[in-house]
Chains A and B, each alone.
Chain A
Amino acid sequence: MKARHKRFAIILGGLAALGIAAALILNAFQSNLVFFFTPTQVANGEAPKDRAFRIGGLVKEGSLQRTDITARFVVTDTAKEIPVAYTGILPDLFSEGKGVVAQGALGADGKFTATEVLAKHDENYMPPEAKHAVDQAHEASKTLKQ
């Protein structure tokens, strides 16, 4: 084995060891690395109970109600739902059927009081006409099923 082969072997071995170490560390801190909990995780008791946390999901269609500057809506991951109340200005991209992340605390009544609401954008980028066409196709498939 030449000296340079040895050096390359050390580099490869070092990188592999580092990669494994990083994987183990990230795995151990899994619960600290998630930015938000889904309603299903909250229902399963995976969310922290003694401190504020974030929930994330979709704003349920037709659930948004506004009284003065307090907004009430339901966050859903299509399996479980959590009602949320928030007083303040909602971000521009906030709308029904879209992603949302809310920070706050879960009350004993199962209602979430948010201190901050962020809109979560998805990875879809398209012009309004294309969005219109997608919606129409969606509607058409709905009527066909009925």
Chain B
Amino acid sequence: MSQPLINWFKFASPASFYPLAGKLWPWFAALAAALTAAGLWISFFVAPTDFQQGEGYRIIFIHVPASWMSMFIYCVMAFWSAIGIGFNTRLSGMMSAALAPTGALFAFLSLWTGALWGKPMWGAWWVWDARLTSELILLFLYLGYIALTAAIDDPRRADKAGAIVSLVGVVNVPIIYFSVKWWNTLHQGASVSMTKAPTMAATMLWGMLLMALAFWMYSIAVALYRVRSIILERERHATWVAELPEMQR
């Protein structure tokens, strides 16, 4: 077999991923800060007032990117879980565990900002329609994953159990996304989708996309940072950890 350009499996080893993640995360954190600043500036000062909702609509600049991230992070967790079960790699379980708190945070943000918007616009903080309910289930799936993996002492077994939860739960993600199409819901349909032109003003759209990018960078940065802590905690008895320069002090 010919030698591939990059040996991806090299980075499946915690010992070689730890320094890589350490080098990468500050870059993603810096990008996240810059994009958030630009995104918030457009959101608050450049984007025009909505013809109907007034200034209250500006909550979408957090709400929509947070909802996208909450669904996407879950898919990434399910991906790592499948890799973990299939290839039996240790790092994939750690990646899933590192992503879960961020995903839960975004699911919560999505529900919370949605409630704040719902009261003035719809006239209700919360309704049990398909979109809202399935997003709430997503938050519970995240919390369930975190609780389950925390309850099992052996990390390898915890990863296995968590992987099954995240793979089973991934069925919920398309339900959330398509709920507004499949059923009558109070929640409006998608303003931005891959199949049709966005139904919002261009500057509003730019603000939202910048915020979405900022949330991506933030998620990558904190996931890398968190996975370093998880690696250190689990491999604390390994020789390579003892040989790390930061352990010599």
Contact = CB atoms under 8 A, between A and B. Distances in A.
Contacts of A101: 186
A26 B181 CA distance: 13
Interface stretch (B6-14, B69-77, B167-175, B227-235): B167-175
Interface residues of A, number: 42
Interface in A1-40: 4, 7-8, 11, 14-15, 18-19, 22, 26, 30, 33-38
A128 interface: yes
B38 interface: no
Contacts of B199: 123-125
B122 A7 contact: no
Contact of A123 (B49, B127, B189): B189
Interface in B107-139: 120-124, 127-130
Contact of B53 (A35, A93, A117, A120): A93
A93 to B, nearest CB: 5
B86 A120 contact: no
A28 to B, nearest CB: 13
A27 to B, nearest CB: 10
A3 to B, nearest CB: 9
Given A7-B86, A123-B199, A35 B167 contact: no
B168 A18 contact: yes
Given A35-B185, A56-B184, A125-B204, A4 B87 contact: yes
B82 A123 contact: no
A120 B10 CA distance: 52
A117 B123 contact: yes
A127 B46 CA distance: 12
A7 B186 contact: no
B200 A126 contact: yes
Interface of A: 4, 7-8, 11, 14-15, 18-19, 22, 26, 30, 33-38, 56, 90-94, 98, 101, 116-132
Interface of B: 48-53, 57, 60, 82, 85-88, 120-124, 127-130, 167-168, 170-171, 175, 182-186, 188-191, 199-201, 204
6 contacts: A33-B183, A35-B183, A125-B50, A126-B51, A126-B204, A129-B48
